[in-house]
Structure 1
Amino acid sequence: MDNKHEILQLLRSVASGDTSPEQALLEFKQSPFEDLGYAKVDFHRNIRQGAAEVLYGAGKTPEQIIGIASAMGERGCRNILITRMEADAARQVADALPLEYHPSPRLGIAFPGPRTSLGNIVVATGGTSDMPVAEEAALTAEAMGNQVTRLYDVGVAGLHRLLSRLDVLMSARCVVAVAGMEGALASVVGGLVDCPVIAVPTSVGYGASFGGLSALLSMLNSCASGTSVVNIDNGFGAGYLASMINQMEGLEES
């Protein structure tokens, strides 16, 4: 079973008498995962969590990525996220299966297909240098079926740039604030909006920024309520969490 819709179809088929309970049980037994030797591909991730398994590309060979993504594609999975995949590996993967690759955030989407566009997530950055992390967040959220609005280079060094887009910020269901240096953007945004803010510290900064640690600590110590923080440069984690928040609000509205 690839998703909740297919499971519901199977259960309705059992209820109508078109499928026997024994046949349905066999379907479920065959579904949970496939053992490829180097990976156990979790086909029930979508059922449990609402999104298919995501491949972490760093440390995997192109052959392993191809094997895992192909197994998922054969089960009908679409828009399979592959994070932290280098360009050389992406070229080899693209030769073997359909792939949409974005070099700046090093993110691939295997077997790209139609996507819904629910709600509105805003992804904002303090500076242009934060864009690779922000794009990882934005593309993750889009692949998971969300509408994303990008507000790039609106940091506190020129606060009027952010304030000129208050209409966009205040209509968001969730804001992802991506910033390095002292990480002040998240606190500013958190003081302006009535929705959850996900702060993403980046490793952008001079000298004693300690690879993003200074931004991380600033965001953790934010006085703005309703702000959560993910790890340094973790755009994927922020995009995934933003999607969950956005889609939960969408269910409540419907």
Structure 2
Amino acid sequence: MTEQEIAALLRQYKAGQLSESQAVARVQQAGVEDMGFAEVDQARERRQGFPEVIYAAGKTKEQVAAIMASLLAGSHKSVMATRADREMYEFVREKIPAAEYEEAARIIFVRRPRQDVNPDKKILILTAGTSDIPVAEEARLTAELWGNAVVTHYDCGVAGIHRLFAHMHDIEEARVIIVVAGMEGALASVVGGLTDKPVIAVPTSVGYGASFHGLTALLAMLNSCAAGVSVVNIDNGFGAGVLASKINRLS
């Protein structure tokens, strides 16, 4: 609700035109747009600083386009739909010409300019291998759309640890570090031991049979002996990007 709408509601209640229960119901409903197939949380930006993000997998292209249009109408910030394919994007673009798509990140988005990006507050994203890049790109684009400066270095895992040490300057300069790794997930522990910054570890479903589709990396990261390493779910680049953004934007 806008300030004017809240003021009008209070005046109606004060004048006896609305009961207390009716006023409460109006406030509760104000931040939700019921579309039948979805209840769009238009108040999320006020609570969390960014509009609701659409998880496109499992939704029809018509549903994604409609939800995105609703969110764009209710916000001046970027809007995004994760885990989307190109066919879905082509449909959305017909309805929303400003929509863009990044194949590796699998994100449809409408980018709106932000004036609050601080280039001195950087999020660093590291991957163990090239196969981890799609998850890292999801994290990168998410963090950028949330208003952060992001630096990436890919394919610098423990099988050639000297590649990681070549990026020590950026490791030291970063305020938050996202480490994306499959296989045995060892890179998160190594980075955690090299920095005093928070490390967000993202296990990926990359690896041979005994990696169990990312479960091995997940358990290794959860059991890290390096202090200050937190872990998100398998392949959850989006979650890592959001968490890193929230940490990075603390004063």
**Shorter-chain TM-score range:** 0.7 to 0.9
CA contact (8 A) 2:78 2:109 kept: yes
1:22 aligns with 2:23: no
Corresponding residue for residue 214 of structure 1: 216
Equivalent residue of 2:214, what SS?
helix
Equivalent residue of 2:161, what SS?
helix
1:144 aligns with 2:158: no
CA contact (8 A) 2:50 2:77 kept: no
What is the rounded CA distance, in whole Å, between the counterparts of 1:215 and 1:106 in structure 2?
A: 22
What is the rounded CA distance, in whole Å, between the counterparts of 1:29 and 1:159 in structure 2?
A: 53
Corresponding residue for residue 194 of structure 2: 192
Corresponding residue for residue 108 of structure 1: 108
Q: Could you tell me how far 1:206 is from its partner in structure 2? A: 1.3
Q: 5 Å matches for 1:154-169?
A: 154-169=156-171
CA contact (8 A) 1:83 1:107 kept: yes
CA contact (8 A) 2:189 2:224 kept: yes
Corresponding residue for residue 95 of structure 1: 94
Corresponding residue for residue 4 of structure 1: none
Which of 120, 127, 130 is residue 128 of structure 1 equivalent to? Answer: 130
CA contact (8 A) 1:52 1:77 kept: no
What is the rounded CA distance, in whole Å, between the counterparts of 2:135 and 2:197 in structure 1?
A: 21
Amino acid at match of 1:231: N
Q: Structure 1, unaligned stretches of length 5 or more?
A: 2-6
What is the rounded CA distance, in whole Å, between the counterparts of 1:198 and 1:159 in structure 2?
A: 19
**TM superposition score normalised by structure 1:** 0.87
Corresponding residue for residue 179 of structure 2: 177
CA contact (8 A) 2:101 2:109 kept: yes
- Name the Cα RMSD after superposition: 2.2
Larger mean Cα displacement after TM superposition, 42-51 or 229-238: 42-51
**TM superposition score normalised by structure 2:** 0.88
How many equivalent pairs are there? Answer: 236
Q: Structure 2, unaligned stretches of length 5 or more?
A: 13-22
Corresponding residue for residue 237 of structure 2: 235
What is the rounded CA distance, in whole Å, between the counterparts of 1:71 and 1:139 in structure 2?
A: 21
Identity %: 51
Q: Could you tell me how far 1:120 is from its partner in structure 2? A: 0.6
Corresponding residue for residue 74 of structure 1: 73
